[in-house]
């Protein structure tokens, strides 16, 4: 059986199977058929700003309708907004058409349950099984109905603002927001300016092709320069679908996901808000953050890479805070998924309450130099039985000792092997990572 679901839904290049109109038509039917097993079902569909969203929105809509499922169209909307609106509109499931931080030529789809959570492995297996069956439409008197919701933006903006402690405000704070020409382009400015901040926005003019192009959370150079040029207090960067967050301090320095999670964790611990005194990260979480949390007696729990796995361990261990260095931050006492806007508000709340700055807040941890090299592969590589690589990895780890670490893993969304090395010395880190990548090549 084909395994279409990766670590974050289904994703790939537009026009290359399975990212085609005919597959999305059948996918909508398959998901709709599984949902309908429990009775009459409805879904909401949101998308980011890439041009192919029009194509796949229509294909999915037709597939759901043919399975007898009612469809509510949300238009361009951040992924976490769809998770929230799925619950608000009492839908059976939520659908996001997005390839997140990827280039416009890629697209994909993610699904949320009625509770705004990622679909379980069991649900995904049912969908994959249904895809093997011939597509048969329900009878004409059972075909679903479609509608376009009129006020989803306002609902989501108010929800985001409700997660911020209104005993403080953002007045006096000057910030630059980079929307990555993505799904936050018509939302972010309203949220932060209505909470009192003086806001200027960049990369908020999507044209279907410029999403994530030299901007946003995956490329903060433009934002860093604008923060310096305008002498802003800080910068905020989202990715194309609005579930990632990176920030920039007043000196134009990047503050990444690990540092942001640490800032919030330390503050919440001081406020006795950090449930079970635990934070969930991933195998990629920086060694500097792990040590800083340990110094605060905060338990660090390691998950596989991917916000779905972070979420699973958060629920298992009763933690309310988790995240990844790439900018996914999950605040489970606020919302059900990683949300760039809500994550930014939690950091800004810490900043406002402490009358502090990002420069001061991030001093609590010292990041270890980290080098990540992506090695493209034409076919699947069995990392466990790659003798040369395993020998080289053991040698490098022995040289680094307790002051460094090595992680080699296959990407869940692209044909890549990711080689990651961390160590105190930047030169040794680069040399070690290059040596391992060359062995793999």
The region of weakest confidence among 58-72, 116-130, 370-384, 421-435 is 370-384
Cα–Cα distance for residue pair 33/166, rounded to 1 Å: 44
Fold agreement between 155-251 and 255-364: yes
Where does the pLDDT of residue 380 fall: very low under 50, low under 70, confident under 90, or very high at 90 and above?
confident
Cα–Cα distance for residue pair 366/400, rounded to 1 Å: 18
Mean pLDDT of 376-402: 83
pLDDT of residue 438: 86
Cα–Cα distance for residue pair 201/85, rounded to 1 Å: 25
Using the 8-state DSSP alphabet, how is residue 39 labeled?
S
Q: What's the pLDDT tens digit per position in 32-42?
A: 999 999 899 99
pLDDT of residue 339: 97
The alpha carbon of 133 is separated from its chain's Cα centroid by a whole number of angstroms, namely 32
Provide the token pair at 101: 């931080």
pLDDT of residue 39: 93
Mean pLDDT of 287-312: 94
Provide the token pair at 359: 């420069």
299 φ, ψ (degrees, to nearest 5)? -70, 130
Cα–Cα distance for residue pair 60/45, rounded to 1 Å: 9
Where does the pLDDT of residue 376 fall: very low under 50, low under 70, confident under 90, or very high at 90 and above?
confident
Residue 1: is its pLDDT beyond 70? no
Q: What's the pTM value of the predicted model, to 2 decimals?
A: 0.92
Provide the token pair at 78: 């951040």
CATH topology of domain 255-364: Alpha-D-Glucose-1,6-Bisphosphate; Chain A, domain 3 (3.40.120)
Provide the token pair at 95: 């659908």
**Residue with more model confidence, 138 or 400:** 138
Domain chopping of the chain, boundaries? 10-150, 155-251, 255-364, 370-440
CATH topology of domain 10-150: Alpha-D-Glucose-1,6-Bisphosphate; Chain A, domain 3 (3.40.120)
Strands 174-178 and 234-238: parallel
**Residue with more model confidence, 58 or 5:** 58
Cα–Cα distance for residue pair 319/278, rounded to 1 Å: 6
Q: Which residue has the tokens 């490098």?
A: 396
Cβ atoms within 10 Å, residue 256: 21
Mean pLDDT of 319-345: 96
Q: Which of 100, 113, 343, 432 does the annotation list as catalytic?
A: 100
Name the superfamily (CATH) of residues 155-251. Answer: Alpha-D-Glucose-1,6-Bisphosphate, subunit A, domain 3 (3.40.120.10)
pLDDT of residue 412: 66
Q: What's the pLDDT tens digit per position in 391-431?
A: 888 988 888 888 899 988 887 667 788 888 999 889 999 99
Is residue 343 part of the annotated active site? The answer reads: no
Cα–Cα distance for residue pair 208/182, rounded to 1 Å: 9
Q: What's the pLDDT tens digit per position in 240-296?
A: 999 999 999 999 999 999 999 999 999 999 999 999 999 999 998 999 999 999 999
Provide the token pair at 215: 């901007």
Residue 130: is its pLDDT beyond 90? yes
Q: Is residue 234 within 8 Å of 223, Cβ to Cβ?
A: no
pLDDT of residue 2: 66
Mean pLDDT of 146-150: 95
Strands 245-248 and 234-238: antiparallel
Q: What percent of the chain is helix, strand and coil (3-state, nearest 5)?
A: 40, 20, 35
Q: Mean of the per-residue pLDDT values for the chain? A: 94
pLDDT of residue 413: 63
Pick the CATH number of 370-440 from 3.40.1800.10, 3.90.226.10, 3.40.47.10, 3.30.310.50: 3.30.310.50
Provide the token pair at 67: 């399975």
pLDDT of residue 200: 98
Residue 184: is its pLDDT beyond 70? yes
């Amino acid at each position: 059986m084909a395994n279409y679901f990766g670590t974050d839904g289904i994703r790939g290049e537009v026009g290359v199977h399975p990212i085609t109109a005919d597959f999305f038509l059948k996918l909508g039917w398959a998901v709709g058929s599984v949902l309908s097993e429990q009775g009459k079902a409805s879904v909401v569909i949101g998308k980011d700003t890439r041009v192919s969203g029009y194509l796949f929105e229509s294909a999915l809509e037709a597939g759901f309708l043919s399975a007898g499922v009612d469809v509510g169209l949300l238009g361009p909307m951040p992924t976490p907004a769809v998770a929230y609106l799925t619950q608000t509109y009492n839908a059976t499931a939520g659908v996001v058409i997005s390839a997140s931080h990827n280039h416009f030529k890629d697209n994909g789809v993610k699904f949320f349950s009625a509770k705004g959570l990622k679909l379980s492995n069991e649900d995904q297996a049912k969908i994959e099984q249904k895809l093997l069956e011939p597509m048969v439409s329900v009878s004409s008197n059972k075909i679903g109905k479609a509608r376009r919701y009129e006020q989803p933006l306002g609902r989501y903006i108010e929800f985001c603002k409700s997660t911020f402690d209104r005993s403080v405000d953002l007045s006096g704070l000057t910030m630059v927001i980079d929307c990555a020409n993505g799904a936050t382009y018509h939302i972010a400015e309203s949220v932060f300016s209505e909470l009192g901040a003086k806001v200027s926005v960049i990369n908020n003019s999507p044209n279907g092709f410029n999403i994530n192009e030299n901007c946003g959370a995956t490329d903060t150079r433009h934002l860093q320069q604008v923060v310096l040029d305008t002498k802003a207090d800080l910068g905020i960067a989202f990715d194309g679908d609005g579930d990632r967050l990176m920030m920039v301090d007043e000196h134009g320095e990047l503050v990444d996901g690990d540092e942001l999670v640490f800032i919030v964790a330390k503050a919440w611990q001081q406020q006795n808000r950090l449930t079970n005194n635990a934070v969930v990260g991933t195998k990629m979480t920086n060694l500097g953050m792990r040590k800083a949390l340990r110094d605060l007696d905060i338990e660090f729990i390691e998950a596989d890479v991917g916000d779905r796995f972070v979420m699973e361990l958060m629920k298992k261990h009763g933690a309310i805070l988790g995240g990844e260095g790439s900018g996914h931050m999950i605040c489970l006492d606020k919302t059900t998924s990683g949300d760039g806007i809500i994550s930014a508000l939690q950091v800004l709340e810490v900043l406002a309450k402490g009358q502090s700055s990002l420069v001061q807040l991030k001093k609590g941890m010292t990041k270890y130099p980290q080098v990540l090299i992506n090695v493209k592969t034409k076919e699947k590589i069995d990392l466990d039985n790659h003798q040369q690589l395993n020998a080289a990895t053991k040698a490098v780890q022995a040289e680094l000792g307790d002051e460094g670490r090595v992680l080699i893993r296959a990407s869940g969304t692209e044909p890549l092997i990711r080689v990651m090395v961390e160590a105190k010395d930047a030169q040794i880190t680069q040399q070690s990572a290059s040596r391992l990548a060359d062995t793999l090549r």
